[in-house]
Amino acid sequence: MLNYDVVIPAWNAEATLIEAIASVRAQTVPPDRIIVVDDGSTDQTAKLALTAGAEVFSQSNTGPGAATTRGMAMASATVLAFVDADDLWLPNKMERQMAVLAAAIGPTAVTSQQRQFRHGQFDDGTGEVRPGLNRSSLILPLDLARNVGPIIDPEGGRGDMIDWLRRVRSSGIVIHEIDEVLALRRIMPGSLSYGRDPLRDRGYLAVAHAALSAKRRNPNNL
């Protein structure tokens, strides 16, 4: 029988973390464990996570990829799920995704669509819907995730999951996206992914270079 752990990388996330954890706890299929990796926060992130009943592992500030990798090492369930500390899950997310994963033939990861909402406003269902090929939507078997290897933080801090998902695909894992909104993506000024920033965006260039290099080495892999 499949069960799952949730990994939440968190850095100075006191404004949103409690909501993220609450959305995990509200799942119709509850998690075995909620693992928060506090990535060198200077606010009340770790304390709030403990208050909310999560397991907390702390480290010096290294980046979301390293924090997620640390959580991956701590996980023990058959399935691994992730959520960013400023995003939310809808209540039936894991029930829908676990059912697809249980029925899958061959190595499979499952994502869903996501709907955007603005920090400080309630989700009214009218936000932009986008593919959820990112941390807050993805689930996959723990052994497959560990076989893919660590999630690497590129220079600038952006693009860690783009690179890792490329490696997921190149390892032969099929990514199945459910055509349904199951997660909410928070638009929050000041967050790592908000807006354009030449220094932070260097990570995307590094990821693109790594993808091209991998393609040259093995043209049959995406």
Tell me the C-alpha distance between 104 and 108, whole Å. Answer: 7
Flag whether pLDDT at 209 surpasses 80. Answer: no
pLDDT digits (tens, 9 = 90+) for 67-119: 999 999 999 999 999 999 999 999 999 999 999 999 999 999 999 999 999 99
In which band, very low, low, confident or very high, does the pLDDT at 221 lie, cut at 50, 70 and 90? low
Tell me the C-alpha distance between 68 and 73, whole Å. Answer: 9
CB 76 within 8 A of CB 47: no
Question: What domains does the chain contain, in order, with CATH numbers?
Answer: 4-217 (3.90.550.10)
